Structure 1
Amino acid sequence: MRAAYSYRNDPAVPEFDDAAPVAFMDGDCALCSFGARMIDRIDRRGDIRICPVATPLGQAILMHYGLRPDDPESWLFLEGGRAWRDFDAMARVGLRSGGWARGLGLLLLIPRPLRDWLYARIARNRYRMFGRADLCALASPRLRARLMR
């Protein structure tokens, strides 16, 4: 785990407004597009932004945290300078969003080896299982306002 806000000292990471949380996800995956729409629905504060991993910022942040942007396991949530990935990221989004979304925190009850294995299987097969969908093309105006480019 890296120190909070360590990306600020990484010259490869473009400067960006990190005052609000950011979810970094695949912009071409139907499952990720669904996840982005769910964030738009469950985020009671309305401040979580979404950055496709194909953007220069998305690629730089993922590489900073040791993830490959072209790797299907690349799902990262950044809040308060700290990063969560995979199911931990999804659980964090749910816990901070409140309401019924806190149920996503139950993902943390799954033992880490099983949780990581399950996430990897879904991520590696996501296009075959769920197809492709352009996050930006499917976005409502409200969701589009959350997107970082």
Structure 2
Amino acid sequence: MNAGKLPPYIGASDKVILFDGVCKLCNAWSNFIIKHDRQRIFKLCSVQSEEGKKILLHFGLPSNSYETMLYVEGNQSFQKSDAFFQVMAKLGYPWKTVCIFRVIPKPIRDWMYDRIALNRYSLFGEYDYCTLPSPDHEARFLDAKQ
């Protein structure tokens, strides 16, 4: 399909985390990234944004409902537990220590991930709208206009 081709708005060295912008858990995850990504290697992007929808479509994923975080590095994408571990490894110590759980077989890791992802609204709640970044965090979000 788009093998080898860069997704829209993403450069070859970009590291982008797509998340559900109305999910309270996902917003907490984004705030965690902003706080602990001291080297500012990640950009964040809501799946509800125009940029997010185009990136999802690039990888052949639905843009109207999405049940997992997507991590994009250049032209590669990672989902579910693989996405989580990719991000945690790049955050450095002490966060990368959770990568020890990669020893759990992928089907089991993804099953556990799905239990949380599929029930995230009932477990953690949701916003009626996508929350907007505060002005000091705005540069951390992928923006087609940048």
TM-score (norm. length: structure 2): 0.82
Q: Which residue of 2 aligns with 1:26?
A: 20
2:41 matched to 1:53? no
Decide which of 79, 86, 103 is 1:92's aligned counterpart: 86
Letter of the 1:145 counterpart: A
User: Which 4+ runs in 1 deviate beyond 4 A?
Assistant: none
What percentage of aligned pairs have identical amino acids? Answer: 32
Q: How far off is 1:148 after superposition?
A: 2.4
Q: Which residue of 2 aligns with 1:16?
A: 9
**Contact 2:10–2:74 (CA<8 Å) still a contact in 1?**
no
Q: How far off is 1:76 after superposition?
A: 0.7
Aligned equivalents of 2:114, 2:108: Cα separation in 1: 10
Where do 5+ consecutive residues of structure 2 fail to align? none
Decide which of 42, 58, 63 is 2:57's aligned counterpart: 63
1:1-149 aligned at under 5 Å gives the runs 3=3, 5-6=4-5, 8=6, 15-18=8-11, 19-133=13-127, 136-137=131-132, 139-149=133-143
**Contact 1:77–1:83 (CA<8 Å) still a contact in 2?**
yes
Where do 5+ consecutive residues of structure 1 fail to align? none
Aligned equivalents of 2:29, 2:110: Cα separation in 1: 18
Aligned equivalents of 1:105, 1:99: Cα separation in 2: 11
Alpha-carbon spacing, 1:85–1:31, altered in 2? closer, same or farther (3 Å): same
Aligned equivalents of 1:80, 1:102: Cα separation in 2: 21
State the Cα deviation string for residues 79-109 of structure 1 (Å, max 9, x = none).
1322111121111111111021102323422
Alpha-carbon spacing, 1:91–1:135, altered in 2? closer, same or farther (3 Å): farther
**Contact 1:27–1:52 (CA<8 Å) still a contact in 2?**
yes
The root-mean-square deviation of aligned C-alpha atoms, in Å, is 2.2
**Contact 2:18–2:45 (CA<8 Å) still a contact in 1?**
yes
TM-score (norm. length: structure 1): 0.80
SS of 1:117 mapped into structure 2: helix
